[in-house]
Amino acid sequence: MISGALATATIVGVAGVMLWSGGPADSSEQQPKLVETPAQVAQSFMNKAFSGDAATAAALTDAPPAATQALAATKQGMGTSAYQARLTPAEPPAQDATTAELAASVTWTMPNASLLKYDVKIPMQRAEGTWKVRWTPAVIHPQLTEGASLVYRKAVADGALLGRDGKPLVQGTIPDGLYKTITGQTGDLKGTDGWEVGIATGTAFTALDGKKPEPGEKITVTIDPARQAAAQAAVDGLPQGAAIVAIEASTSEILAVAQNKTLTGTNPFVGRYAPGSTAKIVTAAAALNAGLVQPNTAVPCPATATIGTRRISNAGFGHDSVPFHTAFALSCNTTFGDLGSKLPPNALPDMAMRFGLGADWTIAGADTNTGKVPPASGDQQVENSFGQGNVVASPFGMALVAATVVSGKTPTPTLMRGKPPVPNDVAAAPPQSVLGPLRAMMREVVTAGTAKQLAGIPNLAGKTGTAEAGGGTAHGWFVGYQGNMAFAVFVENAGSSQSALNATAAFLKG
């Protein structure tokens, strides 16, 4: 029973009885022998029982070894709880009695200041003129039996920040900045611990009183430890600034987000760069959707071409005519510049939004910016069609593009399960009529196109990209998917897509 504050207990004793041994009362030859009463022995036992010297208290019983063990077990089980006991005043037993039973009230003040109160019976036995407590565990608590003890313990609240593997998420398993952002948003998830006091017998526990914990939240961060480690190792192996974002296409859960120390001043969620030829995924979808081409449509792919006022060139190759799927696999800038010039001004931004590029979500655990594909016409649209001009994308945004190709549905990027993203500016998924051809063309990029050095990696599809960054430098990209995992690899000032391809191989093989 739990009650309010405990008033200071007054220990009530029963006066000792002076018993004289036989013989003449000659003080010069014999001193009186004081025989303690049952009440005095019982009170002494209770005063010493949990004072830290169980053996001294046990010596006042008729079974010291068993009492010592039981008293020590409850002392340990109750921790820093304070014990007080007082006898209930009663008539002393007859002078010639050999047994007695005393009553006492017990109060434990537990570490949280709660009180446990109960009454006990203390059996007494006189043997050879000395009163002893007749040992039984019930003198500690009336429900206590041999081998049991009283225990006070916390009732731990259930709540935690978990990793994808279900284990508590610890700092160092995900990027430090991301960990701090997540924990800053979630705060303490643990909840409020409760407490319980009861009888422990082996592994069994019978509660006598307590307060249930107030549970906190259990939140799972979607980062996959193995993929995160592989992504981090892949970017750490590059001298240039580099980043990788990976997403589970079917759920849009973020599996990995890594950057190396050379990539400073930004992060893969928000850093925006020209996407280069990876933007041809969007342009191809827009051209297919507009009916300008089909995968087998013959298209020109000259080494250079003047489109509008812009002089466009490929990376040292040209063809009079190739099927559109081949132009995509070889990454013909001249082909895509020509198609871009024929699209309406809103065709590219509208299609980009349908792949998640330029879309906006409020995502628990991370600030994000997917990128932007502004409406354009004329020369600007020509450049935008192959990822130059004023088109920008983050590695996160391009990973969403690849995830949309795989899943065929509008992505819902998630970093913490149970906390779905809030869509602020999101479009419907691309039409299925363009997604099938895109998957086949992205596979051809790996088997026979600009990423054929990765052809040995099974079920890989994607798109390379080299994006002029000014000052004679260029960023390198590879955007793709393997099975249900979509990803984007970005290498700053790499000069070509070669470093991105090397990082992709390291990531997927790692």
The total domain count for the chain is: 3
Low-confidence winner among 13-17, 24-28, 332-336 (lowest mean pLDDT): 13-17
Contact (Cβ atoms closer than 8 angstroms) between residue 381 and residue 341: yes
22 occurs within a structural domain: no
Q: What is the CATH number of the domain that holds 343?
A: 3.40.710.10
Residue 152 in domain: no
Question: Is residue 297 over pLDDT 50?
Answer: yes
| Integer-rounded Cα radius of gyration of the chain | 40
* Residues 69-93 pLDDT 10s: 999 999 999 999 999 999 999 899 9
Looking at the structure, tell me whether residues 78 and 49 fall in a common domain: yes
CA distance 36 to 124: 12
Q: For residue 291, give its domain range.
A: 225-509
The domain boundary, picked from 170, 199, 219, lies at 219
- Same-domain check for residues 501 and 390: yes
In 175-289, which ranges are E strands? 191-192, 194-201, 204-211, 214-215, 218-220, 242-248, 253-259
Instruction: Indicate the burial class of 58 (C-beta count within 10 angstroms; 0-12, 13-18, 19 or more).
Output: buried
In a domain, 132, yes or no: yes
Catalogue the E-assigned strands of 365-472: 371-372, 392-393, 422-425, 460-470
Residues 142 and 76 placed together within one structural domain of the fold: yes
- 133 confidence band (pLDDT: 50, 70, 90): very high
For residue 250, pLDDT over 60 is answered with: yes
* Within a domain: 23: no
135 pLDDT more than 50: yes
Average pLDDT, the chain: 91
Tell me whether residue 19 is in a domain: no
Claim to verify: residue 439 and residue 496 sit in the same structural domain: yes
Q: Are residues 363 and 315 in the same domain?
A: yes
Per-residue pLDDT tens digits for 463-499: 999 999 877 889 999 999 999 999 999 999 999 999 9
384, pLDDT greater than 90: yes
Does the pLDDT at position 182 exceed 50?
Answer: yes
Is residue 409 a part of any domain in this protein? yes
Report yes or no on 239 lying in a domain.
yes
Q: Is 403 found in the same domain as 283?
A: yes
DSSP 3-71: -SPPPPPPPP----EE-PPSS---TTT-PPPEEPPHHHHHHHHHHHHTTT-HHHHHTTBS-HHHHHHHH
Indicate whether 34 pLDDT > 70. no
Same domain for 104 and 210? no
Same domain, 183 and 120: no
> Which CATH number characterizes residue 121's domain?
3.10.450
pTM: 0.73
Domain boundary among 106, 125, 147: 147
* Residue where a domain stops, chosen among 90, 124, 147: 147
pLDDT at 25 over 50: no
